[in-house]
Structure 1
Amino acid sequence: MTEPIVAETPIGTPPAWAIMQRRLFDVMDEGWWLFRERYCLPDGSLRYAGPVQSRDGADDFYEAFVNWPVLYQLGGADDLIDVAKWHWEGVTRQLTDLGFLVDEFERGYDWFHIGESMIFFYALCAADPGDEVFRERAYRFAELYLPGSPAGNYDPATRTIRAPHNGGGGPRWGINDEWRSYGADLTNMRIFGLPLSGVPGITSWDDLKDPANADLMGAEMIRRQGAGDTAVNLAATTLTANAWLYDHNDRFAAWTLEYLDAWQERAAANDGLVPDNVGPSGIVGELHDGRWYGGNYGWNWPHGVYSVGSAACIAALNGAVLTGDSQRLDIARNLLDHLYERGITGAVDETELSIRDRWQAELGDDCAKPTLLIPNRHGDDGWFDYQPPQLGLPIWLWQAAFESSDRDRLRQLRERSGYDWRTVRDFRNKEDAGHEAPWLAYLAGDNPGYPEAMLGVALSQVQRRMDLMAVDTTDPADLNIHHWQRHNPVATEALLQLTTGTPQLLYNGGLLPLRVLYLDPDRGRPGLPADVAALVDTVEPDRTCLQLVNLSATQTRRVIVQAGSFGTDRIDEATVSTATGEYPGPSPAYTSPPPTAGTRTVVVDSNRLEVTMPPGRTIRLELRLTRNTYRAAHLALD
């Protein structure tokens, strides 16, 4: 690295965003401590005495802590990484005792849910890449899907994962035992409609009231959705991509790209759209009478693009991380464009759709306004279940490549929307996401109040979780397995956007390649140092601009700014703000003379630069970048 850059500009009146940001770090560090006291046992496991299902549920236990390592990586408390690992270990033992795991990994379930649980593990690996125990686990888990693995999850002859449910125990044929007879009494699933089409005598939900029909539907689900490959298995590529980031083992890269290529070829043969099922012989539609839709967690049921689109984007991003090749994103680009081309205009309040509460929170009163709705699902009668587009998917395609076509896609979505993208609403959904629109408007330069508004939302939502914990008297025997997620007081969306210039990760199994990573050389760890706040206000292909503020009145802080959490980009040069003058001036004066502002340019030629932050000083950095100069890697602070 070059010689440290020294911040020279006095703060003057501290920016509101900086004060709010440091407050957010503080209250979340208070919050996770209270959460563990309220919901956890001394061994790190969760207080739970309720029933468990035959296959579903392991993800919900891990999701209680899913973003704790991310908070540490951003600058949370020093002991948070050890606490997060302690909970991962405790929950893993707990789930092993409950029969969900084999050798610390999911016994066998769908990757829509495995992906939800694994983002906790991936975040631990990224936050502390020097931990040899988690490195060994990363290798061991990835090996489960390589050709020749004793687990037998993968068939190299057909380039398929052999079953929709898979994991540490290998292919796990069939479906949840609770669905062996799929009847109308499953009222929580009614909003998603029939899980399969083409079942004789069953054309509506009410037909499932007949026990014979319920048994027939369950049997058909076992036969057609309990074998073969399914598109959500694409999220398994994060296992091997995560392992590859440690030491660039070619075996992990080869399988990731081979499996991604197989699905890319299937999409190309299906007019560019990813099908959702492949039979045991490697043929699309083999178990579904030739239909390219109908697979488990596929286009027809229950979520459509929410599951298939997410998995395609996750795998595409993994391919881009491994190769630096933006064409790896095409499988996801084509999928989204296919849906956007079929968009209609309508109001959420006047449209029949399966997931309504998400949009009521995200759009508020704008649910009554006509806006762009895209088809989420496909059945025998064509596309249906029209909803607003989930912006997290196209945003990550833009983040991965920063190509003009990806930025244009987002611009067009904004133009077709019937609501104001600048509006910031006070909500938090399961994915700790949903504020992408106002953030994009901020980056576009027309939403200047976004940092304070979004930090206000984050503080409000964390306080709400603290208050929910304070009044919670639920007995462990009566807990719903989603209870912990709804009380988790760690909310990282605002910090990711504002401190690193990065959207919230793709929740069903995505990696988190940050645009900017901060390292604290004095504490030997990732994250912003104490008292230091950061705001990224420009994110462009070859340029990132940010401001650092040291709110301490007495302590000098040092911070290393790294171009990407995986260190792929080279900082060619940095234009930094300077200040000259007689500050603080003579003591008899009523005020200090204003400094003379200027800039200077420093040649960096590295993926890191160090900034010294004297007390009460601020600095603005304009980083000029060359992208994908270095191979992506889990990088520890040397």
Structure 2
Amino acid sequence: MRTITGAKRYGRAPRWAELERTLIDRMNASAEPLLAKYVHPDGTILWPTTPDHTGIDALDDAYESFHNWPLFYMIGGDDRFLAWSQKEFDAITRQFGRYDCGHGHPMVVNEYEQGYDWFHQAEGYLFFYLQCMAAGPGDARNRERAKRFAGLYMNEDPAAPNYDEALNLIRGAHTGSMGPAYRNFTGEPWLYEEWKKWWGLPFHDIPGVTSVYDLADPHKAALMGKAIQARQARGDVPVNIGVTTMAANAWLLTGEEKYAAWTLRYIDGWLERVERNGGIVPDNVGLGGMIGEHIDGKWYGGYYGWTWPHGWDAIGNAMIVGAENGYLVSGDERYLELLRSQLDVLIARGVERDGLLHVPHKYGDPGAMFMTSNAHAIASSEGIDLSADGWFEFRPAEGKFAAHLWYMSQRADDLERLKRMRNPQGAEWTSIGRSSSKNQGGHETAWIAYLEGRYPDYPEAILTYNLEQVGERLLFMETDAQDPAEYKDWYLQVRNPITAEGLVNLTMGGLQPEYNGGLPMVRLMYYDVRRSRPGLPLDVGALVSGMDAASVTVTLVNLHPTEERELIVRAGAYGEHRFTSAIHAAADADAVVSGSAAAEETFIGDSTFKLRLLPGCEWSAVIGMERFVGQPCYAGHEPWGAAKPSASESAGEGA
């Protein structure tokens, strides 16, 4: 392994590096107050609030409460976050195995969700993927679970016939360890409830039902309930693409090609359906393999599809996951078309006003009366049609979809897609706005503006914001007097003090993993040689300040005044990239890299190199990179070859 020495002294430590280490330290100290007040000593959580709870929902919310703890560990968080993560996954899995799902068996069967949709499963099992990644392939329990969980969708468990191999489709909108959960679609009246006004109607062809308020009529609610059962229970839906991460996770842990083959075959099936449906991803495929088979031939109306409840916001998340998984597993950029093609569908149908593009987020029966989600209502006075040939709910699209596409492709036309959809009057590209997203993120466009040189203050701005996020949640926990009997399933999510977006952007050069089950896609990973574990060494800060298709620009700083730090730098999260060479300041030169006569080029030619950072020194380089040319795997998380106890073996330590 090539070794490079960073010996350039800095006069004053960079502010961004100090903020990074302050943020890491602050979060290292924030978990214990949460665990002490809101989690039982054995790791079980305080919701459900009654031991006789019955339902099919909210396992995902329990897992989500800790989703980014393994990711924080991989950035450089305390060792205990790895042990805590495994302990919490185990405890929550056992806990929800004690609650009945309402169909005569528990919510969790054989350690896995009994049967639910992949919008929610993808959110919940993000915690599992990151735990597997953080612990590495040496953790036998994670490895066994990963293979078994993926096997639920590969016909390896006779009790879970979720997948039709001949037709390459998943058999239901709700699936899990008990097979397709058609039982969850009971056909009961779909009565009016307050929350439904935010999302509108699943179907617009039910006699007498033109808005959710009509569901207050029991007869009309009964008609809607029967339609949901008949049309949405059976067959494949786009959010099932989230299953590919379960298979890709098993592949990254084991290297067994059957998981890679299944991942690509299933994504290929959806690419074929897009082509068959005239360029638009259909949201329902029947058990016979036909689009619209159970919905009167309509390509829309599926569960978590174009019409209900979230439209593009749910479908787009699945497109991100499918595109990224396909590219990672195959190294073939064609899989990005899954996402790119759907962005083009929206852009082509967009309506522009004052330079701001409003794109449709939903589709329903042409000519129907659509109830735009109150949460996303666009006043008619703005002159934006709420319906156009069946497309409705026109509003600006989140930047994350095009941001993920550009990040993976590094193509100029994909950056133009992102710019085409941005608000020219808004400040989201050059300021840090408050976010209510569950991953505490949402600043993808601001980070990209920084990489373009248009928002130079982004590093300090996002880290300052992240420190405020942590501080606010710590203060809330300190003053929180809510009665635990009143907790809802999301009580821990809104108290989780760990925030990762800024650190992932700046240190690793990537976007946060897509919350609905995406894997981390980053340019750089770090390993602390002294501690034999993933993450930045103590006192080290990292700043990725630029990238293109063939290089990444990074600065690493050792803030310790008397001790050197040694780390291994890896190309990509999984060794999927390869470093070519690094142009950097000569080891004994007090000069900048760019245009300096003291700059030198060091050949690397590998997916890793070792960096020695002398006390009070920094190393800045433009590192050449060939992308998606290596065999991705988790095994590189122990590039030093040291034997370590598994996370499950050490799960009780420090907890």
Same fold (TM over 0.5): yes
What is the CA distance between 1:281 and its match in structure 2? 1.3
Deviates more, 1:485-494 or 1:258-267: 258-267
Counterpart check, 1:354 vs 2:373: yes
Counterparts of residues 133-152 of structure 1 (less than 5 Å): 133-147=141-155, 149-150=157-158, 151-152=160-161
What are the within-5 Å matches in structure 2 for residues 143-542 of structure 1? 143-147=151-155, 149-150=157-158, 151-175=160-184, 180-184=188-192, 186-346=193-353, 354=373, 356=375, 382-414=390-422, 418-419=426-427, 421-542=429-550
Provide the rounded CA distance (Å) in 2 between the counterparts of 1:121 and 1:369.
Answer: 46
Query: What letter matches 2:521 in structure 1?
Result: P
Deviations, residues 316-340 of structure 1 (Å, cap 9, x unaligned):
2111111100001112110111001
Deviation for aligned residue 1:386: 1.9
Q: Aligned AA for 1:21?
A: E
Q: Which amino acid aligns with 1:408?
A: E
Give me the CA root mean square deviation. Answer: 2.6
Q: How big is the shift at 1:229? A: 1.3
Q: Which residue of 1 aligns with 2:23?
A: 24
What is the CA-CA distance between 1:636 and the residue it aligns to? 2.5
Looking at structure 2, the residues matched to 265 and 61 of structure 1 have their Cα atoms a distance apart, in angstroms, of 36
Instruction: Give matches, 1:74-89, under 5 Å.
Output: 74-89=75-90
Deviation of the 1:609 alpha carbon = 1.1
**Bigger mean CA deviation after superposition, 467-476 or 282-291:** 467-476
Pair 1:328–1:374, CA change in 2 (3 A) = farther
Pair 53,355 (structure 1): closer, same or farther in 2 beyond 3 Å: farther
Hey, what's the Cα distance between the residues in 1 that align with 2:589 and 2:175?
66
Residue by residue over 1:166-206, the C-alpha shift from the partner in whole angstroms, topping out at 9 and shown as x without a partner, is 011110005466x832112x101211111222122222222
Return 5+ residue gaps in structure 2 as ranges. Answer: 100-105, 360-370, 642-655
Q: Aligned in 2, Cα 1:487/1:238: closer, same or farther, shift over 3 Å? A: same
Are the aligned partners of 1:529 and 1:559 in contact in 2 as well (CA < 8 Å)? yes
Alignment check: 8 A CA contact 2:197 2:374 kept: no
For residues 308 and 59 of structure 2, the distance between their equivalents in structure 1, rounded to whole angstroms, comes to: 21
Matched, 1:549 2:557: yes
1:456–1:368 CA distance, 2 compared to 1 (3 A): farther
User: For the Cα contact (< 8 Å) 2:403–2:445, is it kept in 1?
Assistant: no
Deviations 1:533-562 (A, max 9, x none): 100001211100111111112221111111
Shift of residue 598 of structure 1?
A: 3.0
1:11 maps to amino acid: Y
Distance 1:198 1:174 in 2: 24
Q: Distance in 2 between matches of 1:250 and 1:428?
A: 39
Give the count of matched residue pairs.
611
Q: Matches of 1:608 and 1:582 in 2, distance apart?
A: 26
Amino acid at match of 2:68: N
Q: Answer with 78-87 or 199-208: which moved more.
A: 199-208
- The amino acid across from 1:387 in the alignment is R
Q: Report Cα offsets for 1:548-605 as digits up to 9, x if no partner.
A: 111112221111111101101111101122364799xxxxxxxxxxxx9832111111
Query: Does structure 1 conserve the Cα–Cα contact (< 8 Å) formed by 2:428 and 2:443?
Result: no
Point out the more displaced range, 199-208 or 310-319.
199-208
The answer to whether the 8 Å contact 1:369/1:418 transfers is: no
Letter in 2 for 1:73: M
Change (3 A) 1:90 1:518: same
Q: How far off its partner does 1:368 sit?
A: 14
1:566 pairs, out of 542, 562, 574, with 574
Q: Matched residues in 2 for 1:450 and 1:283: separation?
A: 48
Match of 2:131, SS state, is: helix
Give the 3 Å change call, closer, same or farther, for CA 417–228 of structure 1 in structure 2: farther
- The answer on whether the counterparts of 1:278 and 1:285 sit within 8 Å (CA) in structure 2 is yes
Structure 1 unaligned blocks of 5 or more? 361-366, 584-595
What secondary structure sits across from 1:5 in the alignment?
strand
Q: Is the 8 A contact 1:531 1:550 kept in 2?
A: yes
Match of 1:505, SS state, is coil
| More moved, 424-433 vs 222-231 | 424-433
Shift of 1:438: 1.1
1:257 and 1:609 map into 2 onto residues whose CA distance is 31
SS at match of 2:602: strand
Residues 228 and 582 (structure 1 numbering): CA distance in 2 closer, same or farther, change over 3 Å?
Answer: closer
Which amino acid is the alignment partner of residue 354 of structure 1? S
**Deviation of 1:234 (Å):** 1.0
Relative to structure 1, is the Cα distance of residues 53 and 302 closer, same or farther in structure 2, using a 3 angstrom cutoff? farther
| 1:174–1:225 contact (8 Å) kept in structure 2 | no
Which digits, 9 at most, give the CA deviation of each residue in 1:14-73, with x for residues without a partner?
111111110110111111221111111111111224365621111010011000000000
| 3-state DSSP of counterpart to 1:72 | helix
Q: Residues 84, 420 of structure 1: CA spacing in aligned structure 2 closer, same or farther, 3 A cutoff?
A: closer
What is the match of residue 620 of structure 1?
620
Other structure's SS at 1:198 match: coil
The answer (yes or no) to whether the contact 2:241–2:321 under 8 Å persists in 1 is: yes
The normalised TM-score by structure 2 is 0.89
Match of 1:7 in 2: 6
CA separation of 1:338 and 1:610: change in aligned 2, threshold 3 A: same
Which residue of 1 is the match for residue 94 of structure 2? 93
Give the distance between the partners of 1:486 and 1:119, measured in 2 at CA: 17
- Post-superposition Cα deviations, 1:103-122, rounded to whole Å, max 9, x if no partner, equal 11111000000000010000
Aligned-pair CA distance for 1:414: 3.8
Q: Which runs of 4+ in 1 moved over 6 A?
A: 367-371
Secondary structure of residue in 2 paired with 1:246: helix
8 Å Cα contact 1:553-1:616 kept in structure 2: yes
Q: Which amino acid is 1:245 matched to?
A: L
User: How many angstroms apart in 1 are the aligned matches of 2:199 and 2:436?
Assistant: 23
1:392–1:504 contact (8 Å) kept in structure 2 = no
| 1:11 Cα offset (Å) | 2.0
Question: In 2, distance between residues paired with 1:81 and 1:606?
Answer: 28
TM-score (norm 1): 0.91
Report if the CA contact (8 A) 2:567-2:610 is conserved: yes
Deviation for aligned residue 1:429:
1.9
| Change beyond 3 A, Cα 1:581–1:611 | closer
Please state how far the C-alpha of 1:140 moved relative to its aligned partner. Answer: 0.6
Is the Cα contact below 8 Å between 2:209 and 2:215 reproduced in 1?
Answer: yes
Give me the whole-angstrom Cα distance separating, in 2, the residues matched to 1:80 and 1:368. Answer: 49
In structure 2, relative to structure 1, the CA distance for the partners of 1:300 and 1:417 (3 Å cut) is farther
One-letter code aligned to 2:373: S
Contact 1:56–1:176 (CA under 8 A) maintained in structure 2 = no
**Letter of the structure 2 residue corresponding to residue 443 of structure 1:** L
Please report how far the alpha carbon of residue 415 of structure 1 lies from its aligned counterpart in structure 2 after TM superposition. 7.3
Change (3 A) 1:425 1:510: same
> What is the aligned-residue identity percentage?
37
Task: Indicate how the Cα distance of structure 1 residues 292 and 299 shifts in structure 2: closer, same or farther if over 3 A, else same.
Answer: same
Query: How far apart, CA to CA, are the structure 2 residues paired with 1:188 and 1:113?
Result: 17
Distance (Å, rounded) in 2 between the aligned partners of 1:605 and 1:582? 26
CA distance in 1, matches of 2:89, 2:491: 18
